[in-house]
A and B are shown apart, each in its own frame.
Chain A
Amino acid sequence: MRYAYSCAGVRDRLEACYDGEVPFSERLTVQKHLAECGACRLAADELTALGATLRSMAAEVGEHAAVEPLRLTAQVLEQLRVEDQLSVRAQVVALFQDMHLVWAGIGATVATLICIIGSASVLIAANQELPESLAGRISLLANPGSNANPVRLNYEMMAPRAVTDPAIEMSEGDAEYALSAVVSREGRVQGIEVINDAEPPSRRAVANAMLTDAYRVQFVPAQARTGGAVAVSMVWLVASTTVKGRHDDGLEMQRQALRLRNRPPMIGPVPVPSEGVPAPRPQSPTLTKPILPDAFDGPVPLAAFAAGG
């Protein structure tokens, strides 16, 4: 059972009720209130009267309009037909009925395309930067630390460190080379040149083998203070030195003696001593000086590099 509404409640629902937008039970409750409350009934009557007046006048206008033939159908269809005729598709179809225009259009299109491609290629060619050009030089100088423009190492940088073994095998004896090289941003060695190139042609093959080895060495690239990897130029000293070691005779003799003393005595028949002849004293083994080479001869490869331009 729905509670009865107050006047304010009814007024709130009056319009929705009049418009038929409330449930049936609510409508009944409102109608019950209207039967009892004169003021609310007056408001409802006003609402009804307003709607009725509007509808009756609209009906009169509409009735007048209804007797007039609208002829909208024909007009709209005609408009649609005209639009179809003027549509792009229709115009294209009409255009293709006369092939002269089509050929002219295709020719013009091809000519335009050729012009565009020609202009574009000229523009692209003009914009290309040759490495030898002034613009190329300027852009090279503007980027210090690039592979093409390595910088000198200074104390603020972290020098490149070798990742692989930097030792270079050399098949010859004493030799010293100063190599100028660049450690790129990627840690690769590039542009190696022998600085002290006053060697006879016979040793050129040795030097070339050394350069090939040097190219294989991998580095952690040098780092600038800002943390970015930079390419640096460096001088790489390769020295092949023969190290001659001296043998210490005294020490070796002591070692020999020690070895003999610790050896167990030989087991064998004991000779019977002849009369009058004193038994020979057991002889201690003679200490012989080992014959050893005086020196170890052979190249000991050593490689060192010093950084700096």
Chain B
Amino acid sequence: MKDAGALGWADVGGREAALIERCAAGEQAACAELVSGYERMVYQLALHLLGDRDDALDLSQEVFFSVFRTIGRFRGQSALKTWIYRIAINHARNRQRWWRRRRKADQVSLDQHVATHGDLRQPGEHTSPDRAYARKELAEKLWTALDQLPFDQRTVIVLREIDGLHYDDIAFSLGVAVGTVKSRLTRARQTLRQQLQGVRV
């Protein structure tokens, strides 16, 4: 099992440490390298957590801005990736609160967004229309269910299933204990399974 909590500079890797030091010194080329290396990861996480592309872009900018402002204090307590995850999740949580307060009335969930914009790739030519419909229905249900999960449970399941993080890294990113991660994951899976009952997976 991976032990993210006990990582030191030696484990982070010389190249990553050098990049961090250059960023802390305010070197533009290093900042550009860091952003281009992690922008896709941050953006996709933001998209999965917030369910809105513009919000996700905004959030990604905020996250990198925050990363550069605080990178001088980064002491290799985790991998850089996990540290960026942590910052992204904190920003997403704040934005989620704000977002829910401001747009509770006309909240647009990802399934509606997907339905409107046709985000999901259409099924291939070899699939039948029935199967395509079933997939679409399943996708909509799943995104609705994901959107209705509490933020912490949604974050845990996204980090585990989509981003493939280990329990330790998830715990560090959320600032909770590993036991809490396990229990949240179990609850999230139970809820999703219940929501998807009756739909063929």
Contact = CB atoms under 8 A, between A and B. Distances in A.
Contact of B28 (A19, A49, A65, A77): A77
A16 interface: yes
Interface string B51-64: 00100010011001
Contact of A76 (B31, B120, B138, B201): B31
A107 B201 CA distance: 78
Contacts, number: 98
A45 B36 CA distance: 37
Interface of A: 15-16, 19-21, 46-47, 49-51, 53-55, 57-58, 60-66, 70, 72-73, 75-77, 79-80, 83
A284 B138 CA distance: 157
Contacts of A80: 31, 65, 68
Nearest to A80: B68
B47 A61 contact: yes
Nearest to A58: B162
A46 B139 CA distance: 16
B138 A53 contact: yes
Interface in B110-134: 114, 119-121
Given A70-B40, A72-B35, A79-B61, A16 B182 contact: yes
Contacts of B193: 46, 50
Give the size category of B's interface with A. Answer: 35 or more
Interface of B: 1, 28, 31-32, 35-36, 39-40, 43-44, 47-48, 53, 57, 60-61, 64-65, 68, 114, 119-121, 138-139, 142-143, 146, 157-158, 160-162, 166-167, 182, 185-186, 189, 192-193, 196, 201
Chain A interface mostly: helix
Chain B interface mostly: helix
B152 to A, nearest CB: 17
B30 to A, nearest CB: 11
A62 B64 CA distance: 19
Contacts of B161: 50-51, 54-55, 58
A70 B43 contact: yes
